[in-house]
Amino acid sequence: MVSRGLKRKLWNRFMLALTVVATAAALVPLASILYYVAVRGLPALNLDFFTKLPAAVGEPGGGLANAILGTIILVLLAGAMAVPVGILTGIYLAEFGRGRLAWTVRFLCDVLTGVPSIIVGIVVYSTVVLTMKRFSALAGGIALAIIMIPLVARTTEEILRLVPQSLREASLALGATRVRTVRSVVLRSAMGGIITGVMLATARIAGETAPLLFTALNSRYWPGGLTDHIASLPVYIFTYSTTPYEELHRLAWGAALILVVMVLTTSIAARLAARRLNGGR
């Protein structure tokens, strides 16, 4: 009996230790990725990287300034389309949506979140690019927006649902209209959460590559109009890393560093903000 008790105890220790090992193991790839992105990316960063256009293949020098600008433009474009639509959809789901239509929309939102982003890319290619007969920043922005809308919508809905019903009732009882209630009571208390959601969604789409391959394509010049093809950091990372040129690999690491810094600061800031909001309540 004693030995059985000992065995149980040892087993207990062992299994608990395993969970610690698992946790440590998960942090190894994170550390490795951040380490390599920093160590290989940093040497690639210099003034040229941020101010110059890519050089001809096989020639040294050049930068990815157009890709940095391109990524910012694509994200803003996507945001301009997705944020209003997403927030309104969220408001509809939380405040007005009843019955079958709301159920369908909520369900399709989840479906859309799960659709692989490459599929969004080919659909936007077939509809927007082939119609306009041009690869364009607009098409890229639309593809990213399609990925962003359900993310924003569902976060908005969830945040709005956290707003106590009593607040709404109080406002309505005071004679406020629905619009006014939503605007001044519900949105007011949910604003922080929604902004957090939007920031997280932004971070997510900034790194998307697959939807841009067939829509925004790539460019070695400064971004032109909305109907011109446009450069972006993720696409440059992909194309440069699969070429045989060392110089381009170096630039790919540099681009990865910039992208990771952009994405991580956005999402860390969002998370910290969320935490402060939650803590404050």
Partner 1 sequence: MVGKAGRGKIKDTLFAGISGLAALSIIFIIIVMLYELVVGAGPALARFGWDFLTGTRWDPVREQFGAWPLIYGTLVSSFVALALAVPLSLGIAIYLAELAPPWLREPVAFLVELLAAIPSVVYGLWGLFVLVPWLRTTVQPFLGNTLGFLPLFQGPPLGMGMLAAGLVLAIMILPIITSITREVLLAVPSSQREAMLALGATRWETIRMAVLPYGRSGIVGAVILGLGRALGETMAVTMVIGNRPQVSLSLFHPGQTIASVIANEFTEGFNEMHLSALLASALLLFVITLLVNILARLMVWRMNKIPQGVSRE
Partner 2 sequence: MESGKPGRSIARRVTGILGVLVGGILLAAVACAPWGEERRIEPGGKPPVHLLGVGASFPYPLYSKWIEEYRKFNPHVNIDYQSIGSSGGINNILRGTVDFAGSDAPMTDEQLARAPAPIFHLPSVAGAVAITYNLPGVDKDLKLTPQVLADIFLGNITEWRDPELTSLNPELDLPDMGITVVRRSDGSGTTKIFTEYLSKVSPVWAERVGTGTSVEWPTGIGGKGNEGVAGTIKQIPGSIGYVEMAYATQNGLPRALIQNRAGRFVGPTLETTTAAAAGAAVQMLEDMRVSLTDAPGEDSYPIAGYTYLLVYRDQHNQRRGEALAHFLWWALHDGQEHARELLYAPLPDNVVKMAEAKIKEINYKGQPFIE
Shortest spacing between CB 223 and partner 2, in angstroms: 5
DSSP states of 25-46:
HHHHHHHHHHHHHHHHHGGG-S
User: Which residue, 51 or 108, is less far from partner 1 as judged by CB?
Assistant: 108
Shortest spacing between CB 67 and partner 2, in angstroms: 13
Calpha distance 42→141 (Å, rounded): 29
| By CB under 8 A, residue 271 contacts partner 1 | yes
| By CB under 8 A, residue 276 contacts partner 1 | no
For residue 226, give the 3-state DSSP assignment.
Answer: coil
| By CB under 8 A, residue 79 contacts partner 2 | yes
Shortest spacing between CB 120 and partner 2, in angstroms: 18
| By CB under 8 A, residue 223 contacts partner 1 | no
Question: Which of 1, 3, 47, 114 is close enough to bind partner 1 by CB under 8 A?
Answer: 114
CB atoms within 10 A of CB 209: 18
Compute CA distances 117 → 124, 213, 232, whole Å: 11, 11, 16
Tokens of 244: 């045989």
Shortest spacing between CB 187 and partner 2, in angstroms: 6
Q: Of these partners, partner 1, partner 2, none, which one is at the site of residue 11 (CB under 5 to 8 Å by kind)?
A: partner 1
Sorted by sequence, the CB contacts under 8 Å of residue 280 that are 6+ apart come out as none
User: Which residue, 78 or 146, is less far from partner 1 as judged by CB?
Assistant: 146
Sorted by sequence, the CB contacts under 8 Å of residue 5 that are 6+ apart come out as none
Binding region for partner 2 (CB under 8 A): 55-59, 72-73, 76-77, 79-80, 83-84, 129-130, 133-135, 171, 174, 176, 180, 183-185, 187-188, 191, 195, 217-226, 228-229, 239, 242-244
